Structures are given as C-alpha cells and as structure tokens.
Chains A and B, each alone.
Chain A
Amino acid sequence: MTLKLYGDLLSQPARAVVILCLANDISYELILVSLVKREHKLPEFKAINPREQLPVIDDGGFILPESAAILKYLAVSHHVPDHWYPMDLKSRARVDYLLDWYQTNIRQTQAYILKKELYSALWKLPRPQEAEIESAEGTMIASMEFVEDYLLKPEKGPFLLGASELSIADVLFACEYTQTQLLPSAEQEKLLGKKPKTKKWLQTLEQSLAPYYAQAHKTFPELITKVETARNGN
C-alpha cells in the first residue's frame, strides 16, 4: 500500500517530509488537508490525528504524527542513504540533538509568523496579545543567531554542524527559514541580512535538493501573495 501523507505544502514540516520522499524515490500519496480552509479542524481529520496537527503519515495502517519522528521513521524504514540519518551512534545523536533543539527554538519562527501574519491574513482571527508575539519573535531571533554562530561551520563542511552531506535536520530547518518569506522584506533583511553563513547554507541546500526543493514549494508563492495582499489591505 502506498504511503499516505496528510498535509499541506503551505506548512513547512509537510514540505520537509515531501522533500525527503522526492529525493529518495519514496512513493507517497499526498492527501491535502487544507490549512486555509481549516480542514485540520474537521472531524474526518481529527479521527486521524486528534491533536489537529499536520503532517501525519499512514504507512499501511501505521499512523504517525510529528514531522521529526516521521522524517526519522521514513529514513530508517526506507533505507535512504546514510547521511540523511546516520547509523553511527554519535553522528545520529548529533542529528537528534539538532532536531530536538529545533522544536523549542527555530520552530518559533512559524509560531511568530502564524501569530503576526497568518491568523488575520488566512482566517480573519484576532491578533494575539503583543506579549505573545514578542516572546515568539525573541526566541526566533536568538535561534537564528545561534544557527549562524554555532551550528554552521563552513570551514568543516557546508551543512549543519559542519557535515559534508545534508541530513533530515538540514531539511526541516531550511523549510522553517522559507517561512520567513511571508514577512515584510525589511524584516527579512533584518533577520538574515547580516548572516552570511546562513545564506550560503540555504543556497547550497537548495542547489543540492533541486528540483525537489522547488517542487515542494510550488504552492508557496500563492501564500506569499495572499499574506502580502492582506498586509497591504490593512
């Protein structure tokens, strides 16, 4: 039975899973759960994931949520090339560390953008309290500085922690960075303008993953337009 992936390419963890599948010829069927139409809140989807979060996979009846867990599971069960999620215990621990760190740090990028831009642009929801937005913003800024200063070591290799080849952590992180394109350009510039290592890493990654990167991001420009229109209309 073909692997089913419940998701929406507007969500960055779903894109990361799609990229892993495309790059490794893992066949899958994408079942669109539209975030814009709030289909993740419908009873049909809640029967699959009561927590209403995307992505979720169904691998012959085995249901698994949480993007990082999905990436690990697919890498191991489909025997993808070792660099994606290395067998060597210490190398694997380093990738696990990056993925765990991601959860409470880089992932705040999405929390910030969701609260600041998407709530109103997509769903006409009230803007959350300023303090909440600021707290996510603070974590996002600090996390991106940490990536630039400590997690990228271009003198060793082009990928996270100076690896010579990319891992599932690089893909998950990078999809989160793409999300910053939803911010006003002045804010994007402030976030990434003075981060040469980060820019270079993202470029290398995009090149290594072409054309899968582009394929996974094919519906993303629509979202950018939608958010920009909403921003200019307000």
Chain B
Amino acid sequence: MTLKVYGDYVSQPTTAVLLLCLANKIDFELVPVNLRTGEHLGPEFKAINPTGQVPVIDDDGFILSESTAILRYLAVTRNVPDHWYPKDVKARARIDYLLDWYHTNLRQIAVYVIQKELGPTFWKIPRPDEAQLKPAQGKMTASVEILEEFLLKPEEGPFLLGAPQPSIADLICSCEYTLTRYLPQEEQEELLGRRPKTKKWLKALEKTLGRHYSEINKTLPELLKLVADARSSG
C-alpha cells in the first residue's frame, strides 16, 4: 500500500517530509488536510491524530506523527542514501542533536510568523502588539544567530555542522526559513541580511534539491500575496 502523508503545503514540517520523499523517489500519496479551513481540528482528522497536528503518515496501518520522527522513520525504512540519516553512531547522534535543538529553538520562527502574520490573515486572530510578540521574536533571533555562528561551518562543508551532503536536519531547518518570507521585507533583511553563511547554505540546499524545492513551494506565491494583502489592509 502506498504511503499516505496527511499534511498541508503551508505547514513547513509537512514540506520537509515531502522533500525527503521526492528527493528519494519514495512513493507517497498526499492527503490534504487544509489548515486554513481548520480541517486539522475536525473529528475526521482528530481520529488519526488527536493532537490535530500535521504531518502524519500512515504506512500500511502504522500511524506516526511528529515530523522529525517521520523523517527518521522514512530514512531508515526506505534505505535512503546514508547522508540523510547516517548509520554511524556518532554521525547519527549529531543529526539527532540538531533535530532536538530545532524543536526548542528554530521552531520559534513558526511561532513568531504564525502569531504575527498567518494567524491574522488566515484565522482572523487579532494582530498582536509588540509586547506579545517579543518572547517568540527574541527566541527566533537568538536561534537564527546560533545557526549562523555555530552550526554552519562552510570551511568544512556546505551543510549543517559542516557536512558535505544534506541530512534530514537540513531539510527541516531550511523549511523553517521559508516561513520568514511571510514577513515584511525589512524584517527579512534584518534576519538574513547580515548572515552570509545562512544565505549560502540555503542556496546550496535549493540547488541540490532543485525542482523538488519548487514542487513543495508551488502554493507559496499565492499565500505570500494573501498575507501581504491582509497586512496592507491592516
């Protein structure tokens, strides 16, 4: 039976899972769960994942949620090339470390962008004031800084922790950066303008993943427009 991926292109952990599948020719069927209409909170989807979170996979009856657990599971069950999630115990521990770090750090990009832009645009949540945005903004900025300063080592290799080829951690971290494109231009510049290593890393990934990258971001221009329109109309 074909692998089912429940998700939505607007969810960046979903896109990370799709990227791994596309880049490795893992057959899958995307079962759309529309986050904008709140489908993830309906009884039908909650029967599959009671937390209402996407992505979820159904691998012939084996249901698994949490994007990073899904990425690990697909990498080991589909025998993808070793660099995605290395077998060597220490190399794997480094990827596990990055994935754990991602959850409590870089994931704050989503928290911030949802509070500031996606919530008001898609779910009519009132625009928060500066004070409300401050905690997530602070954590996001600190994480983006750590990635630039400590996690990228271009002198060793183009990917996270200086690896010569990308891992599942590169996928999940880079998809999070895609979200920054929903922010006003000057804020994007503030986040990435002075971070040359990060920019280079994102470019290297985009180049490596080529058309798969365009595939998962195909609805992005339309969504960016909705968010920009909502912002300018206050």
Contact = CB atoms under 8 A, between A and B. Distances in A.
A2 interface: no
Nearest to A77: B89
B135 A69 contact: no
Contacts of B99: 69, 100
Interface residues of B, number: 33
B96 A72 contact: yes
A125 interface: no
Interface in A20-75: 50-51, 62, 64-70, 72-73
A104 interface: yes
A157 to B, nearest CB: 18
Contacts of A103: 100, 103-104
Contact of B51 (A66, A69, A128, A146): A146
B76 A66 contact: no
A66 B146 contact: no
A93 B73 CA distance: 6
Contact of A68 (B51, B62, B92, B96): B96
> Which residue, A93, A104, A107, has most C-beta atoms of chain B within 10 A?
A93
Interface string A70-110: 10110011000000000001101110110111011001000
Contacts of B97: 64-66, 69
A129 B135 contact: yes
Contacts of A70: 93
Nearest to A74: B93
Interface residues of A, number: 35
Given A89-B73, A96-B73, A131-B132, A101 B66 contact: yes
Contacts of B135: 128-129, 131-132, 135
Given A89-B73, A150-B50, A50 B100 contact: no
A68 B104 CA distance: 12
A90 B69 CA distance: 10
Contacts of A72: 93, 96
B50 to A, nearest CB: 5
Given A62-B90, A104-B107, A96 B68 contact: yes
A173 to B, nearest CB: 14
Given A50-B146, A50-B149, A150-B50, A66 B66 contact: no
A88 B150 CA distance: 34
Interface string B96-134: 110111011001000000000000000000000001101
B83 interface: no
12 contacts: A50-B150, A66-B101, A69-B93, A70-B93, A73-B89, A89-B73, A96-B66, A97-B66, A99-B69, A104-B104, A107-B104, A131-B132
Given A51-B101, A73-B93, A97-B64, 11 more contacts: A50-B146, A50-B149, A62-B93, A73-B92, A73-B96, A97-B65, A100-B66, A100-B68, A101-B65, A131-B132, A150-B50
Interface of A: 50-51, 62, 64-70, 72-73, 76-77, 89-90, 92-94, 96-97, 99-101, 103-104, 107, 128-129, 131-132, 135, 146, 149-150
For the complex of A and B, the 9 pairs showing the least CB-CB separation, nearest first, are: A103-B103, A73-B93, A69-B96, A97-B69, A69-B97, A93-B73, A66-B100, A100-B66, A96-B69
